[in-house]
Amino acid sequence: METELTPSQSLQLIQDMVQQAKQSFQKSNFYFLLWGVLFALAGVVDHLLQRAGVQMHWVIWPAMGVIGGLVSGIHGAREGKRQGVMTWMDRVQMWLWGSYTITLVLLIVAAVSWGRDPNPFVLLLTGLPTFVTGALIRFRPLMFGGVLFWMIGLLSLFVLREYSSLVFAFALVAGYLIPGILLKQHEDGLRPA
């Protein structure tokens, strides 16, 4: 048996759903800022360690991945409890970025096992979920960040390997950090006072 809603109840339901979507939207910037900082830093540190002749310079990448994964997991769990409900948009984002992460790890393993620099391929792959997320939340700077990942990833195929980590760091600043900062400013404008 369905309950008929009055016009005011219908309006309240719509307002609640819009507010729920805004609250879901408001948590996106954290991840772009976190991963942008971690991996831009990893790119610079990797380059400096290579220049210093450190053999295991590459260890910075998985170390930052583990740190980012732990921080993201803790933050996501706290946000999930605080929000209380998972929206359709939350589910889409979860599956998009989860499948990206699995593909990313497999791609890195494949590239390294073939003796190839994984950075260009990582950048090319990263363009997809970044662009789609920007489209889903209707935030053009993030869509542009996805396009930048594709362009820089393609160009980085032709860059000397010794500069690959610096190109990667630049891509993270352009594709994640700048859009993440703009998204934070936008989200701060949506938060109730």
Domain ranges (residues) in the chain: 33-186
- For the stretch 54-71, pLDDT in tens is 999 999 999 999 999 999
**The dihedral sign for the CA sequence 46, 47, 51, 55:** positive
**Where do the H-state alpha helices sit in 52-177?**
60-83, 88-113, 119-136, 140-156, 164-172
> Please, are residues 127 and 153 in contact by the beta-carbon 8 Å criterion?
yes
d(CA 180, CA 176): 6
Report residue 68 as tokens.
Answer: 């980012």
pLDDT tens per residue across span 89-147: 888 889 999 999 999 999 999 999 999 999 999 999 999 999 999 999 889 999 999 99
Q: Residue 193: which pLDDT band, with cuts at 50, 70 and 90?
A: very low
25-44 pLDDT, tens digit each: 556 899 999 999 999 999 99
